[in-house]
Structure 1
């Protein structure tokens, strides 16, 4: 599909959304104002108006345009498949939130975000609806969406919930059969941890990726659809906070390596209780680091 046709389809759906915000019988603004709303030329706007008239959504006589009926979902024009997968959109959106580009309790413009992330508006709306279950965004009473943001309270609640999930995960790993793939992954991760420990003075910045791999391996043993959903968000947030505060980064990462190794030692000994205790210590440290990072951004 040509890019020009894609822009027309996107513009038409934006104008359709705008029409839906007006009462039946209301007058529509001038073409210049509609052009600003849809961020396209007046030529494209006239094409959109022509289709609206054909679909009996508006009356159009001279410069006067009035709403005849409320648009429905069936009135929308299909858009080409987005180039971004749901997982890619989720990561890009969360990274945008976690860079603190916008403060908490900021109204979100679906049209602006759709352009930012290069996805159709209907896809962005579906994504926000799904993301709302994590408490980062919420519907506004007057319509639209609100960014609740990543706050200190959110960080504490997320850390506490993560600790519960990790305790369950290490128990599952300790009880996994000897031929389970997790043991080979942990052996490989142990080697990577020991290697980085020897290079910590120069390569300490590599820990964030290693931390992500370690916790992904631990949690891979848990077969629970609800855990899987939340782990995606938890993983990204706890991975990303390593990028916020660089003070004493080497010392923190070195200590975290030792905590990971303690968990792996207990797991390899099939000592579930020791593994849970080691995981609890690591979660307390991780929570402290996360809150310290938030204070670095004056959010804690």
Structure 2
């Protein structure tokens, strides 16, 4: 229900934009296709808009009464992008229960579970399939191929090449580049998390993703940044595959991050490379240990 509520809020905000450019809203199927959501969610959105006197909904006629105002939107912190919702739901499905190589994934079932349209789910699965973890079969079915040692090794090899290059580029950013302020903020978040490590060690994966994405962006290379989606997708969730010693592992990674951050600030190429290699080696070992079986 929480996932469906998030889908509803995110889609509702996007649907509000339709009110500014139309006198009448399109049909329910067309609106669902346009927003990538189910008919049930479309009706829930229309019902709320009718109650808020944004539209007059009379069977097939949906007349726009007024444009949206700031208070009509759900706050950003209550919404996630539709792709994020599908990603989290998909990963939860393959990381829990008995999802082993050969497990079937049905587009319609996944869409129904999330509360979104099958088109959005299909587009996500097509993008995800290029990683080699799932494979398309006839009749809207997909097969989980499994996360293997070979896959983990290939992923870490590419990650290390890209991140070493990106970290070296970070040292050459101008003094007034906004990345330095972002680095300050991320460092402060590390200290806050470390101060409450026993209760909050599970929050580390999100901070880990935020830090490494900042480093990768310093490369200025769109392909490096785009590939980080793959890296984040796997490395973010591998913490859930192997929960053994998670607290100690996350605490060590945070300390390595702080050394890494100090190295970036030094602008010393040798120091940056050493800190980067040390941390990436730890991440490689953790990922390999998380491979099922």
Q: What is aligned with 1:90?
A: 87
Residue 197 (structure 2) aligned to one of 197, 200, 203 = 200
Q: Are residue 185 (structure 1) and residue 182 (structure 2) matched?
A: yes
Scaled by the length of structure 2, the TM-score of the pair is 0.65
Instruction: Work out the CA distance in 1 between the residues paired with 2:229 and 2:97.
Output: 19
Q: Are residue 232 (structure 1) and residue 229 (structure 2) matched?
A: yes
User: SS of the counterpart of 1:108?
Assistant: strand
Instruction: Work out the CA distance in 2 between the residues paired with 1:134 and 1:162.
Output: 14
Q: Which runs of 5+ in 1 are unaligned?
A: 1-76
Cα distance, 1:286 vs structure 2:
0.8
User: SS of the counterpart of 1:104?
Assistant: coil
Cα distance, 1:250 vs structure 2:
2.8
Q: Which runs of 5+ in 2 are unaligned?
A: 1-28, 38-80
Residue 254 (structure 1) aligned to one of 244, 247, 251 = 251
- Asked whether the equivalents of residues 137 and 148 of structure 1 are also in contact (C-alpha less than 8 Å), the reply is yes
Instruction: Work out the CA distance in 1 between the residues paired with 2:87 and 2:221.
Output: 20
Cα distance, 1:194 vs structure 2:
3.2
Scaled by the length of structure 1, the TM-score of the pair is 0.64
Q: What is aligned with 2:217?
A: 220
Residue 115 (structure 1) aligned to one of 112, 115, 121 = 112
Q: What is aligned with 2:288?
A: 291
Task: Kindly report the root-mean-square deviation, in angstroms, between the aligned alpha carbons of the 2 structures.
Answer: 2.6
Q: How does 1:98-177 map to 2 (within 5 A)?
A: 98-99=95-96, 101-140=98-137, 144-177=141-174
1:65-108 CA deviation, whole Å, 9 max, x = no partner? xxxxxxxxxxxx75613347234323332332233642123333
Q: How many aligned residue pairs are there?
A: 220
Instruction: Work out the CA distance in 2 between the residues paired with 1:182 and 1:228.
Output: 14
- Asked whether the equivalents of residues 98 and 150 of structure 1 are also in contact (C-alpha less than 8 Å), the reply is no
Q: Are residue 280 (structure 1) and residue 277 (structure 2) matched?
A: yes
Instruction: Work out the CA distance in 1 between the residues paired with 2:186 and 2:271.
Output: 19
Instruction: Work out the CA distance in 2 between the residues paired with 1:273 and 1:105.
Output: 45
Instruction: Work out the CA distance in 2 between the residues paired with 1:96 and 1:269.
Output: 43
Instruction: Work out the CA distance in 2 between the residues paired with 1:166 and 1:218.
Output: 7
- Asked whether the equivalents of residues 114 and 121 of structure 1 are also in contact (C-alpha less than 8 Å), the reply is yes
Instruction: Work out the CA distance in 2 between the residues paired with 1:202 and 1:114.
Output: 34
Distance 1:197 1:119, change over 3 A: closer
